[in-house]
């Protein structure tokens, strides 16, 4: 009786008002759930005496005393001593992106001329922004290391994050603005390629470096846009997440099961627009060090990732932009990938809808084996999220493979000694004109500095 009366009242409420009521109810519920999960994660880390936990607490205290101030990404990069400007490429489907260009240095500290080496595009991962490549200071951040070597560095920002919320006709408050997944991020890659090469007429190729989802969207783009392969001198893939494993977190598994159970119910509960749209506002309610410590605890609780190798003084800067907004549809696509382990297009939840979109009842897979441009794979031995061996088996032209045994998913960018353990080899690789393919059957431990030893290469070539 009560339910029928409630339904009767609901039918008389205008749709716009009803939508707003649902939004506020969803926001209240999410705030409560996130607060509970975050509090639980913090209490667990305080209770268990893991080494990384003690370092995180110390790091949070250091952050409170840190003199680093963050106002915006552009101002932060300028404060590091680099010239930076912003560019606005427009995608095929109307999204206005932001590229932050860190200009190549022409003279080093000794007054020696630095040769110009061409453009490099850096693309961040899920829930991230371009801050990923610029947060850790002059000697450790990849953006600055490359600029010091004479590269024009373009920091990409995918649609929807705080730097790329423009569109030719849609507003971020519109659900349609957020109607995209990994399949649509292909357009972001293509738009950035076109813009950068048009601004560098003397170059017909660029070097692409993507972290996690940044690598995944490149693989999707290369598999569907063959012309981009001709424009890629080298694809550097940090923690590439094309093939993923199931996530064991009970929280993420619960959301994944809800999606698998019923798509419509999933979107009714989670929403069809941005995923947790208030997340970017919440960071302004607490001290940056507390927000940073909570973020680290959540990484460990949800994904079992550690930040013990990160520079403590930069953690609060990183979490000033992370997590950034993504679409709920993109999150759903990632949950599908982790569940199936396949690198495939978005599954619409029913054979009929898939048939409508793809002319087949199951979503098509991306053909990794069609990618022939040189690819470098860099990943952590403690990264349980990605399946790199399967990726190696399918890629045709892996020229560099480096497993850093102690690293987690984010350490390829944030570990404080990465400029010593990885970047020298990476810079040497980027300056090469020719590459030698590493057969997938060759174990990583056989490689020397990520590459195939010459005697081993000659032996495999002869056997073929």
CA geometry: angle 219, 137, 299, nearest 5 deg: 55
pLDDT cut 90: percent of the chain above it: 52
Mapping DSSP onto H, E and C, the string for 204-265 reads CCEEEEEECHHHHHHHHHHHHCHHHHHCEEEEEEECCCCCECCCCCHHHHHHHHHHHHCHHH
Please state the rounded mean pLDDT for residues 404-431: 89
Least confident residue range of 198-202, 269-273, 436-440? 436-440
Alpha carbon of 139 to those of 136, 149, 409: distances in Å?
A: 8, 12, 21
Grouping H, G, I as helix, E, B as strand and the rest as coil, residue 159 is: coil
Question: Phi then psi for 100, rounded to 5 degrees?
Answer: -95, 115
| pLDDT of 50 over the 60 cut | no
| pLDDT of 194 over the 90 cut | yes
The CATH code belonging to domain 86-242+366-463 is 3.40.50.1820
Question: In this predicted model, what pLDDT tens digit does every residue of 267-304 receive, in sequence order?
Answer: 988 888 999 888 877 777 777 778 888 888 888 888 88
Please state the rounded mean pLDDT for residues 421-448: 85
Helix (H) or strand (E) holding 198: helix 182-198
Residue 46 has what pLDDT?
Answer: 63
The more confident residue out of 351 and 316 is 351
Q: How many CB atoms lie within 10 A of CB 260?
A: 14
By DSSP bridging, strand 375-380 and strand 232-238 are parallel
Residue 6 has what pLDDT?
Answer: 47
Rounded Cα–Cα distance for residues 419 and 426 (Å): 10
For the chain, the first-to-last Cα distance in angstroms comes to 77
Q: pTM here?
A: 0.88
The more confident residue out of 446 and 30 is 446
Question: In this predicted model, what pLDDT tens digit does every residue of 3-45 receive, in sequence order?
Answer: 454 445 546 566 667 666 666 666 677 666 666 766 666 676 6
Least confident residue range of 62-76, 182-196, 262-276, 365-379? 62-76
pLDDT band at 416; cut points 50, 70, 90 = confident
Q: Where are the domains of the chain?
A: 86-242+366-463
The whole-chain average pLDDT of the chain stands at 85
Helix (H) or strand (E) holding 102: strand 99-102
Residue 311 has what pLDDT?
Answer: 82
Q: 361 and 355 in contact (C-beta within 8 Å)?
A: yes
Helix (H) or strand (E) holding 375: strand 375-380
Question: In this predicted model, what pLDDT tens digit does every residue of 303-332 receive, in sequence order?
Answer: 888 888 888 788 888 888 889 999 999 999
Residue 455 has what pLDDT?
Answer: 58
Rounded Cα–Cα distance for residues 14 and 21 (Å): 11
């Amino acid at each position: 009786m009560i339910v029928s009366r409630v339904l009767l009242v609901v039918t008389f409420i205008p749709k716009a008002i009803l939508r707003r009521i649902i939004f506020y109810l969803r926001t209240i519920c999410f705030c409560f759930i996130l607060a509970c999960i975050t509090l639980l994660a913090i209490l667990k880390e305080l209770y268990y005496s893991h080494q990384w936990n003690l370092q995180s607490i110390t790091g949070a205290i250091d952050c409170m005393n840190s003199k680093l101030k963050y106002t915006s990404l552009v101002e932060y990069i300028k404060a590091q001593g680099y010239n930076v400007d912003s560019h606005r490429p427009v995608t095929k489907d109307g999204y206005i992106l932001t590229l932050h260009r860190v200009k190549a240095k022409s003279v080093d500290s000794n007054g020696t001329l630095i040769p110009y080496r061409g453009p490099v595009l850096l693309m961040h991962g899920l829930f991230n922004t371009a801050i990923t490549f610029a947060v850790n200071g002059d000697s450790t951040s990849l953006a600055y290391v490359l600029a010091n070597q004479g590269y024009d560095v373009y920091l990409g920002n995918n649609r929807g994050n705080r730097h790329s919320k423009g569109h030719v006709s849609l507003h971020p408050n519109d659900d349609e603005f957020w109607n995209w997944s990994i399949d649509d991020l292909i357009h972001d890659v293509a738009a950035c390629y076109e813009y950068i090469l048009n601004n560098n007429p003397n170059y017909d190729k660029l070097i692409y470096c993507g972290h996690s989802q940044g690598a995944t969207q490149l693989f999707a783009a290369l598999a569907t846009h063959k012309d981009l392969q001709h424009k890629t001198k080298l694809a550097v893939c940090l923690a590439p997440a094309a093939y993923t494993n199931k996530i064991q977190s009970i929280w993420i598994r619960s959301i994944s099961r809800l999606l698998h159970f019923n798509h419509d119910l999933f979107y009714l509960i989670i929403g069809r627009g941005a995923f947790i749209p208030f997340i970017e506002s919440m960071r302004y309610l607490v001290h940056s060090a507390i927000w940073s410590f909570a973020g680290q605890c959540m990484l460990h609780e949800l994904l079992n990732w550690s930040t013990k190798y990160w520079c403590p003084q930069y953690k609060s800067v990183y979490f000033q932009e992370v997590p950034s907004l993504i679409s709920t549809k993109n999150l759903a696509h990632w949950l599908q990938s982790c569940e199936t382990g396949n690198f495939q297009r978005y599954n619409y939840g029913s054979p009929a809808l898939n048939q409508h979109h793809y002319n087949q009842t199951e979503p098509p897979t991306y053909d990794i084996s069609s990618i022939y441009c040189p690819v470098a794979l860099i990943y952590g031995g403690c990264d349980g999220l990605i399946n790199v061996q399967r990726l190696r088996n399918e890629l045709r032209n892996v020229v560099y493979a480096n497993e850093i045994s102690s690293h987690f998913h984010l350490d390829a960018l944030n570990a404080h000694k990465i400029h010593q353990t990885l970047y020298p080899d990476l810079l040497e690789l980027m300056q090469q004109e020719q590459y030698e393919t590493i057969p997938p059957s060759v174990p990583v431990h056989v490689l020397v500095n990520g590459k195939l030893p010459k005697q081993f290469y000659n032996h495999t070539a002869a056997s073929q």
